Amino acid sequence: MQMSREELLKGLEEALDYRFTKREVLLEALTHRSFVNELRETDSRDNQRLEFFGDAVLGLLVSRRLLERFPSTGEGDLSRLRAALVDEAALAQIAEKIQLGKYLLLGRGEEKTGGRKKKSVLSDALEALVAAVYLDGGIPAAERLVDLLFGPLLETSGIDAVDRDYKTRFQELCHARHGKSPHYVLEEVSGPDHDRLFVITAHIGETFLGKGVGKSKKIAEQAAAKEALGRFEEMEKSET
């Protein structure tokens, strides 16, 4: 037996852990422009305006969480982290997790071309959904939704994103200056199994450029690459 539209929407509300007071705002967030274009007589509005607003709401709330999660991280790295968390691929991944595609109102043409699985459609709809929650329940409701949807990414991907960024920038500088990639050396491991401490150094050829200490190899490599980047910057300043 096929579920009614109302039952479907209740399923989405359960996934979001939020009950809408203004159901029309939720419906607008789920309405793709193809649906409105094909049904010209309908009073429905597509989700493009909400998508625009949701982009801003997400930027604000994710930025706030990043400031709290990484209190000592600089503006440039915070910007890159935010960009990674709210790009099309990340948003589409979250949308897929809550099965957002099955709730969308699509035109026949968009339906036939697999619109429910398109990353662009899913990411736009997720932004519109965040805006809808904000408009219906205010900042507190939107914050809870962002914590629910983005919390796991902030916890598991944040350090990796910073790590990739420092190491990528360090590698790019090494290639630009020396034409080769850096390498990392594990110098020391101390502490009990449940509380290990790693010491890693960064080198280019035989030249030492930075040392990092951390609770994991990734964190220690990140710190080593960061220190190495600082040395590069000092070298550049001394040459000017």
- Does the active-site annotation cover 239? no
Please give the CATH architecture assigned to the domain spanning 5-160: Orthogonal Bundle (1.10)
Q: Which of the residues 28, 46, 55, 227 is marked catalytic?
A: 55
Q: Which of the residues 51, 127, 136, 221 is marked catalytic?
A: 127
> What DSSP state is assigned to residue 128?
H
Q: Where in the chain is the domain with CATH 1.10.1520.10?
A: 5-160
Q: Where in the chain is the domain with CATH 3.30.160.20?
A: 182-239
Element (H, E) at 203: strand 197-204
Does the pTM of the predicted model rise above 0.75? no
Q: Which residues lie closer than 8 Å to 34 by C-beta, 6 or more apart?
A: 106, 107, 109, 110, 115
Give, for all 240 residues of the chain, the pLDDT tens digit: 445 677 778 889 999 999 999 999 999 999 999 998 887 756 779 999 999 999 999 999 999 998 888 777 778 778 878 888 898 888 999 999 999 999 999 999 999 999 899 999 999 999 999 999 999 999 999 999 999 999 887 776 555 555 556 788 888 888 888 888 999 999 999 988 888 999 999 998 888 999 999 888 988 898 899 889 888 777 666 665
**Terminal C-alpha separation, the chain:** 74
Three-point CA angle 113, 118, 124, nearest 5°: 125
**For residues 136 and 116, what is the distance between their CA atoms, to the nearest angstrom?**
25
Say what the pLDDT of residue 1 is. Answer: 40
- Say which CATH topology domain 182-239 has: Double Stranded RNA Binding Domain (3.30.160)
- Does the active-site annotation cover 51? no
